[in-house]
Chain A
Amino acid sequence: MNHNSNNHSLLSVSGLEVHFAVRTGFLTSLISKNDSLVRAVDGLGFSLGRGEILCLAGESGSGKTTTGKAILRLIEPTGGEVLFKDEDVCRFNRSKLRKFRQEAQIIFQDPYESLNPRQTVFATVAEPLEVNRICHSIKEKEERVEEALCDAGLSNPRELFIRYPHELSGGQRQRLAIASALVLKPKFIVADEPVSMLDLSIRAGILKLMVDLRDNKGISYLFITHDLSLAWLVSDRIAIMYLGKIVELGDADAVIKSPMHPYTKALVSVIPVPKRISLIGKTLLKGETPDPINIPAGCRFHPRCPEVQPRCRVEEPFYREAEPGRFGACHFI
């Protein structure tokens, strides 16, 4: 399947922008003329096929979570287009948005924070059904909740109904969060670092569950993570973000095994492997991701780029298809 052609894709994002105005004091606003903007997401595009897992990877501050939220309009995008089943999400009115959010769900990072501690398991999972007035009888509701809990891999769901989140383990909590996303039978899920709070030994179970749901129910994922080895394990394609833009996108194996962009190369070089490898003498990128208020001119990666050329300081590289199915934004790929 060609994931890049629009005809097959479930979601197609182009030129997405999320800019936040920075509140400045009165005096500062007198001195400086232009208001400063945090350009959290600064024009990015990709498409997501049906049943595809696309991973959005990058360091903190790269705008990956903002992208995920903007697609669901949990944060209003300031520009660009988000096509879901060929309809522009940004133009949806309230009732259409509500319909859209039944099909598109989000799972958050921290199952300790994202669940209401005073709601039972049943109330947590049934809430989306109530908000959307989907079930009319209690029996029907119970069945839907039971099914969702089962789908999320929780055994004996009926016994869990009256439990509270604090009675569950970390893995069970994340499964509960997944169940409350699944109860509306979505087609698309934004998974924002769904396993980074979990211990290594229970991570695999959650990841497997997500992949199984894709295989059995055809759910597409936008999988957000900072962990490239995880991205490589679960996703079909990987998009690497840096300062609000995608710098490289391609097949998961290709991006990890033969990265094109200098930033991707640097990230791949620090992916840990289960071996004793000393870091002494290893060349690492200097510094940290710059402030998205003052995005460097030219290529935004140039101040940290080990392969920087004079051209990079002045001219911003286009995001283009370098090889079939592989996109990148660098002058030298």
Chain B
Amino acid sequence: MKLLEVQNMTTYYKLKEGYVRACENISLHLEQGEALGLVGESASGKTTAALSLIKLLPENAQVMGGSIRINNRDIAGASEEELRSIRWKEIAIIFQGAMNALNPVRRIGAQIVEALRIHEKMTEKEACYRAAELFEKVEIDPARVREYPHEFSGGMRQRAMIAMAIACSPKIVIGDEPTTALDVMVQAQVLQLLEQLRRERQMGMILITHDLSVVGETCDRVAVMYAGRIVESGLTETVFEKPAHPYTQALIAAFPNIEGERYLASSIPGNPPNLLYPPAGCRFHERCGQAYARCSEEEPLAVELSNRHNASCHLLQGRVRI
């Protein structure tokens, strides 16, 4: 069952100088119980894409078109009221800096209770009971619901954020760099917890990250973003083993592999383009080692390389589906 289906979603930010084309023509879908990784470097538009899904964008952002369907319900034209009923109950988000996302002057338990009372219409008592249960679920001592965010360590805060995100049993959870600020060991603990919860509750999950390793450890499918576009998508194994787009190839080559040879891969020359004035044609052509005349003129379309493996590059145009 498709939990989420996004087609040609385009979001621009309006600035004095013009429009920043933060993400363009994003199409993706998510099945029940599935985890999708959205990877990209900073400023590739991955967070904008996620925020567009639940309409939590800043005021100067404009969703220019496309459709977003959550559980077969189009939310592109939904009112603020309708959106409020969707957020938390159907789709929830875990942000990167738990310290910024939690209210520092309120007890963590109280913050969860508040969400439960508003969205699930529970009584105070029921909500408190539920909050303690959720704490147990994310492996925090339930006695600590009465503590404040600063009394928690980084990993525990992120766990508390997860508890909050799953409080109203959403069908989709979006994690926006949920483990970026954490230590390696704590990161592994948090990712393991997320995967357990996803399997138990058959939730769909979108993980936004700049870190390919997070994708490898948690996601069934991956979509690689560059300069506001999805350049390649497919099953995680396929993309790791047979990356098709030159950008994905370079990213994976830059990933140190302790099981492989010990050498420093060369970096991708140049910098990502300014999305106020994106280059014509393929957005990667200025940094691509394999670019030819056509790349700077014509925008490449997605090519289906094999089952569920797509990439947008002119070099692949001749390759038909295997």
Chain A interface residues (CB < 8 Å from chain B)? 59-60, 169-171, 199-205, 207-208, 211, 226-230, 232-234, 253, 256-257, 266-268, 270-280, 282, 284-285, 288-289
**Cβ-defined contact, B258 with A199, below 8 A:** no
Whether the Cβ atoms of A279 and B218 lie closer than 8 Å is yes
Report the contact-size class of chain B (Cβ under 8 Å from the partner).
35 or more
Contacts of B213 in A (CB 8 A): 272-274
C-alpha gap A211/B214 in the complex (Å): 27
Residues in chain B near residue A253, CB distance under 8 A: 262
Q: Which of B199, B213, B256 has the most CB of A within 10 A?
A: B256
Which residue on chain A has the smallest CB distance to residue B213? A272
CB proximity to A under 8 Å, residues B190-227: 191-192, 195-196, 199, 210-214, 216-219
B233-281 residues with Cβ-Cβ distance < 8 A to A are 236-237, 240, 250-252, 254-259, 262-268, 271
| Shortest Cβ distance from residue A274 to the other chain B in the assembled complex, whole angstroms | 5
Interchain Cβ contacts under 8 Å between A and B, 30 examples: A59-B183, A60-B183, A169-B271, A200-B211, A201-B267, A202-B267, A203-B267, A204-B265, A205-B267, A207-B264, A208-B266, A208-B267, A211-B264, A229-B258, A232-B262, A233-B264, A266-B185, A267-B185, A271-B258, A272-B217, A273-B258, A274-B213, A274-B252, A274-B255, A275-B237, A277-B217, A278-B218, A284-B185, A284-B189, A288-B153
Contacts beyond the supplied A201-B251, A204-B264: 11 A-B pairs with Cβ under 8 Å? A200-B210, A200-B254, A200-B255, A201-B250, A202-B268, A204-B267, A208-B264, A272-B216, A284-B188, A288-B185, A288-B186
Q: A233-B264, A270-B185 are in contact. Are A279 and B191 (CB under 8 A)?
A: yes
Residues of B within 8 A of A279 (CB): 188, 191-192, 195, 217-218
Within the assembled complex, what's the spacing in Å between the Cα atoms of A203 and B86? 40
> Which among A230, A270, A280 has the greatest number of chain B C-beta atoms within 10 A?
A270
The distance in angstroms between the C-alpha atoms of A235 and B266, with both chains bound, is: 17
B120 at the interface (CB under 8 A from A): no
Does B42 have its Cβ within 8 Å of any Cβ on chain A? Answer: yes
Q: Give Cα distance in the complex from A282 to B185, angstroms.
A: 12
A288 to B195, Cβ gap below 8 A?
Answer: no
Given contacts A59-B183, A205-B267, A207-B264, contact A273 B188 (CB under 8 A): no
- Least distance between A276 CB and chain B CB atoms (Å): 4
Q: Considering the complex, give the chain A residue whose CB is closest to the CB of B139.
A: A286
Shortest CB-to-CB span from B261 to chain A, Å, is 10
Counting from the closest, the 7 A-B pairs by CB-CB distance are A272-B213, A205-B267, A204-B267, A229-B256, A199-B41, A201-B268, A59-B183
Residue B184 at the chain A interface, CB threshold 8 Å = yes
Q: How many whole Å from B26's CB to the nearest CB in chain A?
A: 20
Chain B window 39-50, contacts with chain A (Cβ cutoff 8 Å), 1 for yes, 0 for no: 001100000000
